[in-house]
């Protein structure tokens, strides 16, 4: 019997993984797999090992691990395979396969566009060429892994459309978010829609980004800085997961 385990990073804020757990239930309801659970790399419960053990107890004879990550960064490329290898040793007769991370997907991009429209329903309606889009991502030291975020920014700029758009990072890459806001202001933007390209509302969304944006507002009092909601729970994410799992089975 096939099973799916969604694997997220985890957070000290225990409620941040609630959307992923809800999506696991949706996958079961849709019949994507008869067994679908969720687990976390760090901080939160259940752990990856606990989630896989729960699948086995429910009768799973194979597990597809779906990284609940937007990009193929260090956690996906290094930490997750190491953890899965350790768990696989505990279940020598259980095939465990890792599907691709989300990467760029048009349904994922459509969710991001809806988040932008939640705070700016008609981009450029009043300010014309002075509007700008800022996609705020975490970033990874694996430079090539950031390409899906850059592709998303280009897609959003075309769809919205925004005359100015930038991708900026919280950590590991440049430009940093604060520097990107300064640059957009220097180029004449008087309104910036900032999209937090994050799945969970963990520490970064609760503390780091608000502090960065508050400091930017103090530096640029004439700049209107609108913060869009993060991705959070959306049924279209179940479609993205289904596509990635199907692709991995080919």
Q: Which residues are catalytic?
A: 9
User: What is the chain's length?
Assistant: 250
For residue 57, what are the contacts with CB-CB under 8 A and spacing of at least 6? none
Q: How many CB atoms lie within 10 A of CB 216?
A: 21
* β-bridge pairing 191-196 and 131-137: parallel
Identify the CA nearest to 192 among candidates 174, 219, 172: 219
Question: Is the distance from CB of 6 to CB of 69 less than 8 angstroms?
Answer: no
For residue 125, what are the contacts with CB-CB under 8 A and spacing of at least 6? none
């Amino acid at each position: 019997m096939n099973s799916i385990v969604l694997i997220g990073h985890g957070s000290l804020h225990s409620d941040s993984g609630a959307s992923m757990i809800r999506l696991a239930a949706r996958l079961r309801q849709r019949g994507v797999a008869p067994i679908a659970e969720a687990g976390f790399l760090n901080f939160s419960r259940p752990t990856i090992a606990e989630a896989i053990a729960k699948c086995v107890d429910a009768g799973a004879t194979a597990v597809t691990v779906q990284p609940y990550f937007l990009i193929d960064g260090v956690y996906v490329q290094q930490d997750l395979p190491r953890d899965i290898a350790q768990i696989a040793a505990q279940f020598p007769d259980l095939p465990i396969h890792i599907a691709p991370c989300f990467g760029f997907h048009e349904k994922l991009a459509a969710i991001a566009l809806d988040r932008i429209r939640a705070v700016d329903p008609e981009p450029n309606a009043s300010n014309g060429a002075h509007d700008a889009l800022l996609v705020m991502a975490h970033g990874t030291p694996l430079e090539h892994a950031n390409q899906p975020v850059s592709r998303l920014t280009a897609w959003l700029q075309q769809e919205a459309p925004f005359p100015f758009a930038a991708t900026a990072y919280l950590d590991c890459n440049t430009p940093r978010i604060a520097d990107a806001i300064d640059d957009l202001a220097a180029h004449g933007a008087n309104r910036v829609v900032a999209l937090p390209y994050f799945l969970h509302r963990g520490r970064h969304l609760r503390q780091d980004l608000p502090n960065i944006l508050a400091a930017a507002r103090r530096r640029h009092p004439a700049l209107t800085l609108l913060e869009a909601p993060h991705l959070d729970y959306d049924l279209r994410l179940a479609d993205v997961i289904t596509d990635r799992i199907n692709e991995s089975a080919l």
